[in-house]
Amino acid sequence: MRKRVIITGMGCVSPLGHNVKDTWEALLAGKSGAGPITAFDAGAHKTKFAAEVKGFDASAMFGTRDARKMDRFTQFATAAALEALEQSGLKIDDSNRDRVGILIGSGIGGINSILEQYEVMRERGPERISPFLIPMMISDGAAGNLAIRVGARGPNMSLATACASGTNALGEAAEIIRRGAADVMIAGASESAINSLAMAGMNSMTALSTRNEDPQKASRPFDKDREGFVMGEGAGILILESLEHAQSRGANILCEFSGYGTTDDAYHISAPAENGAGAANSMRHALEDAGLSVMDVQYINAHGTSTQLNDKSETAAIKTVFGEQAYNVPVSSTKSMTGHLLGASGAVEAVFGVMAILNGMLPPTINYETPDPICDLDYVPNQPRAVHVDHVMSNSFGFGGHNATLILSRYK
């Protein structure tokens, strides 16, 4: 029999707050994290706003010397991981460090460091490049830095599946525990790509909203007038453990990681399959992995990017899997408030799934004003909803056709 995997700690950094509590309270209040870009001068860009993490002081948290050696995405991941470890009560020492692993995904990695140091080289020459550039830019920088900080010597890696990275990271971390290669995995994802180059690239793809006159209304998943996503940044980290390990140390169990599915569309590098076939298969696999039926799911946290193609495709996939039951399951997109955290989105949304189970509250889809006949499910419009939740499904889809779904369940 495979090992049961449970969750004992959570941490996040988001455009709505620097921790789980503040972020969750802002979600239930229907607040948007979007606003004018402060990271660079966006005057020449089609989109001049994003959902930035505000007031994050890495120097105060880690010390100036250490902060300077970490890209912003690594700083976010480290902050979220330390919060998660504190909640879990896990002490890493010589008795267990070889059985504690880390898996932190990122769609892009240290792109800010690449751009900053390129400007240094262009203006001052190659000899002035920071010796920390390579460790800062590589996608496994967050996982490696965290291992050194906390002393975890178990399986350690990064993972990149674009905007599915966070969900895949959690799913693969659970599989590492299930096969017995670790007792604990510190897992999730982090992203920080609000810079001139990334924003220009997304605008060239016509992926971003250009509602510059009203940024907080720009992310409107499943609404008929949606016209692109809002770039976000942040990190989500969860502490996954085998049930036996958590019980042996008397840990407080938050919920169970019960199901995981992942597929690929094999269709288009950036557009989802129109009928959502790959996404539907991912959801089916997660249900089978959890041993559940569609009747067992009380809430779906949607990928819900606020783009025409994604929201249409995901709605079709949910209908394919759930049939008529699709109309009875609440679905919401928290990206309406956080923006799209790219590779980190699935990990942060997993935190929201756990909070929905613990608090019996579903976060809303804000800015849902004009129903779309193609997107006709219950999207928990504009207001949170009190619902007893035993099982949550969370979807993430990424460029390259990547699909990933996880199921979180009330621990029994």
The catalytic site residues sit at 163, 303, 340
What is the CA 161 to chain-centroid distance, rounded? 12
- DSSP codes, 64-78: HHHHTTS-HHHHHHH
- DSSP codes, 253-279: P-EEEEEEEEEE--S-SSSPPTT-HHH
Residues linked to residue 235 through DSSP beta bridges, in sequence order: 13, 190
CA distance 374 to 311: 9
Look up residue 287 and give its two tokens: 């249900």
CA distance 225 to 202: 19
The residue with tokens 């609000």 is: 194
For residue 207, report the phi and psi dihedrals to the nearest 5 degrees.
Answer: -90, -25
- DSSP codes, 220-248: -TTBTT---B-BB-EEEEEEEEEHHHHHH
Q: Cβ distance 238 to 7 under 8 Å? A: yes
Residue 163 has what DSSP assignment? B
CA distance 212 to 243: 48
Look up residue 255 and give its two tokens: 């919920």
Q: Cβ distance 34 to 356 under 8 Å? A: no
Q: Which residues contact 42 (CB under 8 A, 6 or more apart)?
A: 36, 48, 49, 196, 199
